[in-house]
Structures are given as structure tokens and as C-alpha cells.
Structure 1
Amino acid sequence: MVEALKIGLLGLGTVGTATAEILQSPERRNPVLNDITIAKVGVSNLEKPRQVQFPEGVLTTDLEGIVNDPNIDVIIELIGGLEPARSLILQAIAKGKHIVTANKAVISRYGEEIYHAAEQAGVYVFIEAAVGGGIPVIRPLQQALSVNRIQSILGIINGTTNFILTKMGAEGSDFAEVLTEAQELGYAEADPSADVDGYDAADKITILATLAFEEQVNLEDVSCEGIRQVSAVDIKYAKQLGFEIKLLAIAQRDETGLQVRVHPTLVPKDHPLASIDGVNNAILVEGDPLGQVMFYGPGAGGGATASAVVSDLMNIAAMVKTTASVNPLMKIPQHPAGQLVPIQELVTRFYARIICVDRPGVIGNLGTCFGKHNVSLESIVQIDFNHGIAEVVVVTHNVKEENFRKALAEIPQLEAIDQIQIPSVLRVLRENL
């Protein structure tokens, strides 16, 4: 029986500070929080001014000393990055300590190694804060939804890109202009690559897909495209055609196997994800027999993420006080390695914007070329005409990606089409999702 759970907090940035603030003011919160004490806090600089105050000796730069301290029961890892976070987590597990982490990068790459170590040591690893900030989605997938056969997960799980796309659509601004504004507001990092190139979302959907489909998804196998190529023109045309453009993280299983990918997607305006704007996140899960359920809310930020961190911590505290063994419904199991369907085999819809010299037969020749490669068109429309140049937008029905790419590759070779450019190719949400 544990009287008071002693915590070692690694990292005192935005999330770490918000986590400490919750733990230091448990009034009107769950009473279990009264049984949790912050014993040590690992920081990189002892002299830095802090929003929260600790008794003398709690702050330390010796992170290894914290994970090796026999008096500490749980390590909360909030330093981020791959190393030393991974090594510290594994070291703490080896010392018999439970883990709470918000580190999506470590879990997406080394989750199975960490889960195996936790299984051997008989400790918990909780990761609710690693995906969706304050949105509860990890534990629902593990517990409430685990009786369902999960068929698909569609997520807007990066607030930075959702903010950028929302502003581009509302103001007609181009990507670079809105990115600068997002950086000034603190929504985007000085180096925004992890967000705008889709890597952050890829980490998160890797974690969700592994849990939902009970197969170890290899991050390197996840097809990943960001939003740099999305223009204000594309967003304008998409709206005219009845769509919103969102960066979607998608995991789905169909007759071909498991597909996991991240890319900008044209979403029909009546779809639940089309109305998710700004920095908000949403995750739509479909399973049998449940049908669809959506998790929505703030996907980042100190308070939101700290809420998930402390929720995990509270669950550990409650369980270790009432049982001597690890609850099998609460731990993250190890998963057999999975194999993803290659992106060339993906069946989805496409949007393409084609610019060429305006002359008779352009649309007919485009239609013939697509038909030759078994690409069925929902619409092919000349949107604009200027100085003899036509701008044609094509939207397909469900089509195999390989066939669509072959058709695009052949279009520049058509004699009837001159000075062709294809500045935008985006996927459209499948008709049955």
C-alpha cells in the first residue's frame, strides 16, 4: 500500500509548469490528487525565473539522479525530443518506476521497446498527453472502444496546420503569409517543419493506429505529406466545389489491409471534420458495432496537455493504492509488427488543378486520358480563363492512386494540350468515409 505517491518531474516548460500548478493546487479537484507529492523536478537551468515555486532542494539539473532515486514512484517525462528522453524512460522503468509522458516522438518510434520493458518490470506507461493534448482519446481506445472492431480513424491532430488552413480560407492569404502570422502568435515554431510537413501528425497517427488495430505500425512506413503545396487558389476552388481542405491523419483497414497516412485532403462541407477550425483538434473513430464517435477540443497548450498528464498520474495513483499488480485493462500491450498497404494501392478520390493553353478539345482529351487509366471523373470544370490560359479543375470518384498518377504523367504528352502545368494534386475524402 502506497501512502503518498512521490513524483519525479522531468522538464518545467509550458506543460511541466502547468502540471506542477495542478498538483500544487488540488482543491476542488479529484481527492486522489491529495496523495501525490512532487519530490524532484529536473530542469536545465536552476537560475531561470519560474512561475511556480518549490521547496529548497526539489529543483535539480541531475535528471539521471531523479530516475535512479529509490524514493520516487513515478516519472513524468516532459522534456521532449528523442534523447535523453528515451534513455531516461527506459532507465526509470528498469528501476521499477511508472511512466507518464507526453512525448509523441519517443512513443511513435520506440513505443514497443518501452512497452516491453514495462511489461518485464511490472509498471505502467501512460501516454494520454502524447496525442490530442487535452482530448481524451488514448484511454477510450484502450478501454471504452476496445470491444469494437475499429475500422478507421480520421484526425485533425495538428493545431498549427489547422490554424494556417483556416486563416488561408477565411482571408484568401497564401501559405507563407499565414505561417509568419502563426509564428508571431506562438502557434508555429521558428522551424515549423514538424508541423507543416506533417511529421507531428504522422507521429500521432502512428500511435493511434498501433493501439486501435493492435499492430505495431512502423513510422517510416507512414506516407506523409504536409501543407506547403496548398495554395489560397486551391482553398478557394475547393470551397466552390463544396469542400474544405484539412490536413488529415488517416488510419483505416479495408479488404486490402491497413493503411496509415497523412496528407492534405478535400473534406465535404457536411462531414463532421469540415467545421473544425483554428487550433482545435478532432479525432473521428469508426468501429463495429458503435459506428462513429468524435473527440474534439484543444489539441495543444500547457493547460490542455497538463490535464491529460495529471489524469494519467491520478489513475496510476489510484491503482497502485488498491492493487499490488498491474491492471491488464490499463497497461499498453505489446503488438505484433504490422505491414501497411503501399500508398500506390490506396483507393481514394483526387483533386487536380491543371493549367494549359486554352484550345478546343482540352477537356475532352483530359477526360479521354483519365478514362484510359480507369480514372472515373466526378467533375471536370474550366474554372478560370486569362490571356489564353485555361485553368481546369478535376475531381475524381474513388480511384487507385497508381492509376491516377499514371494518367497525370501522361497528360503532358498529349498533343492537344500545350504548356501544361499541374500545380496542385490533393486527395479528396473517400466516398465511403
Structure 2
Amino acid sequence: MAASIARSCRSVCRVKSHVIFTKTSYLKASFHCSPSKRSGLLLSLYNRGLLKESFPERAAQAELPDLLRSGPQTVYCGFDPTADSLHAGNLLAIIGLLHFRAAGHDVVALLGGATAQIGDPSGRSSERERLSPATVEENARGILESLHRIFTHHELHFSPDPSRLGRLTVLNNRSWYKDWQVLEFFSEVGRCFRMGTMLSRHSVQSRLKSAEGMSFTEFSYQLFQAFDFYRLHQLHGCRIQLGGTDQLGNIMSGHEFIHRKTGEEVFGLTVPLVTTSMGDKLGKTAGNAVWLNPDKTSPFEFYQYFLRLPDNSVEGCTNALYHSNIQALEQMSDTELQELFREAPFHELFLDPGTTVLDACRRAQAIPEGPHGYQMIIDGGVWINHQRAANPEQVLVLGQHILSNGLSLIRVGKRNFYILKWLSI
């Protein structure tokens, strides 16, 4: 799983109890938002594995690149507060929003304060437990915290010129449903939908065939998500909705509703679902969520989850999730570094004049004695502070091999870490 995340994220690290994402080429200069360069955004996202499907397919392929090239557009993604934190399954959609915003487009993160009380049936085998309004409100505060933390870190750490970012708006759909009467809503909105089309949705079909069946409440969910898209189209000129592949049916309903009401073309883009190595969806629905709020999943546990993925799960992207940000390492105490790399052997050593890469690796017992260990370094299998150390005879350099706090992090292969604390520099 997580090949798409692996392509997008270079590291997950702990800085002041927050999770920071650092990318290999996440914000290239060419990715900022001159009109002539917006047209390459979709191709870039597809190449990164962040986009899977577009709807309507032909119109999106023919018209959407020109629309993005024409000027800033508004893109939205919804997050129902059915739990008090976002989770790793939401990451690809959030990263997609960050890319659109970095390219100068406006993004809307929509909290489903109303729709969370209905329950999206997509990807579920049974109906969600009903949540009280108070629980939904409390959950919304937790998700709002997640979103603000991620977008703030993006502005602080990954945006050379934050003034060129598109606008970020966070809304709650409860604000426009709280004054609707049920008869008024179904008279205004319901008459625009056709039963045959609604019944044909994959999320509906799979539930109708299940032992439990499907309640009318769940069946009506697609009307509400469609109306959300319409409402944002009316208020913010939003013409693009982003969501997981399991949201395609809901996105299609929104497209059809807006086209019927306004005659205008809107578009849907889906991101791949984040799944386990067994193909199971990763998220709160499946009961295997890796949470983004640090009080629910610690930064160390988050880091270790991706670190322990099988090699074939990240398509050989060995630099994807195995590195911590070097500036963060310099700020860490010995204890914090040991906590981050809990299984890594820790050595306190005196630094002798002329200590080489080979000396450091041997004293850390990171490589075997004799010519085999020497050859491992020459073959490029050793990294010190995330820089490949291919010269065994290279004398350790302060600031390169030894951080300002006297620490060296040695990695051999993909997963074997060793921590050195130099007592004399």
C-alpha cells in the first residue's frame, strides 16, 4: 500500500509533537502558479500517482486542463467528522488539495457537520452508528485542528512564497442545512434525481445485496453530497471536487445535479484509496486507522507504520518514508532520537582525529569486519545523516557526517539504523 504516498512524501518526522511531511520534489519552482504552467498540474498529479479517475472522463481530459490554465479555480474535498481526527486514508486527498493550492488555485475543505449524521454508505458493509449532534461538533473540532496544522506546516515549511498560494477556506455544511425544512429540501433537490440512476451506484448496489440491506437515510446521502457541490459552486464558483475512488458515485450525482440546475460543466477527480498490503482500505471504516492527530497515533507510531511496510508495498521507493528531516534531527535530544528510532543501537563514542566513515560504521557495528563491510560502503549501501557515504576513507566532517548536536545517524540498507553520539568534537 501507500505507493502513492511514498511517491509524494519523503519523510514523516516529529517536530514539537507534530507530523511534518517533506517531499522529494513537492514544490518545484515550475509548480508555482504562472498561467503557462498550470496546464501541467494534472499530468504532474497523475504521474505522482495522486489521481486515478476523472469525471466526466472525456470532458475532463479535453476541457479541465484549459480551465486550470485559464486562471485560479476552486477545488473542494469533503471530510465527514465521524471521528475526532483525520487519518492516513485522508492523506492523498489532502496532498491533492495542497498541490492545487501550491499551483495558485483556491481550495475548500468542507466539514460534513450535517452529512456525518446521515452516514456515507460508500465502502461500508453495514450502516454507521448514529452520532449525536454534540459528538459530531466535537469531532469537527478535532478535524479542524488536523487541517489547520497540515496547511500551516505547508505554508511554513514548503512554500517559498506563501503569498502565491491559493486561498484556503474551511466550511461546515451544517451552516446551509440547519435552516432547511425536510419537505422544502426534497421538493427542491429530490425532484432533480432519478431512482434508476441512484440505484445503479456501486455503493448502493453493494449494500442492497448485503444481508443488512440499506436504509433510506444512507440511500439519500448522495443527494446531500451532490447539494454540497452545488452550494459550493454557487457560493465559491467551485467546479472541481476531489475525493477517494469510493466517492465516484457521489461525485457523479453532484455533476448531474449541477448540470441539471445550471447547465454548466463541473468535474470530479478521484485519488486512489490507501490500502493495506492485503488490499483492505485503510481508514476508520475498516477499523485500522492510522490517525493524524498526535494524541491518537503518536508521531513515532505513525513513522513506524510506514517504515515497516513491505518493500513491494512502496514500489521500491527506498527514499520515500525512511528518512527524517535533517533539521529536525539536529534539534532532537539523544532521548528523542532514540524514541524515533527505538530499535536502533545507540553508541557514545569519542571522536578521534582522522576518524573515517569506515571507522564510524565499524565502531557502530553497522557493517561486518573485513572486506565485505568495506565493499558495502563502496557499493553505496551506507548513508550517514541521509547522505550516501560511498567513500570508506572519507574523514568525518562536522555539519555533514556529524550534526551540530554531536549526533550521527547511520543507515545501512533500507531499515537498519544506528545512532552515534560523539563525545568530543
Shorter-chain TM-score: what band?
under 0.3
Q: Which has the higher strand share?
A: 1
Q: TM-score, normalised by structure 1?
A: 0.25
Q: TM-score, normalised by structure 2?
A: 0.25
Q: Which has the higher helix share?
A: 2
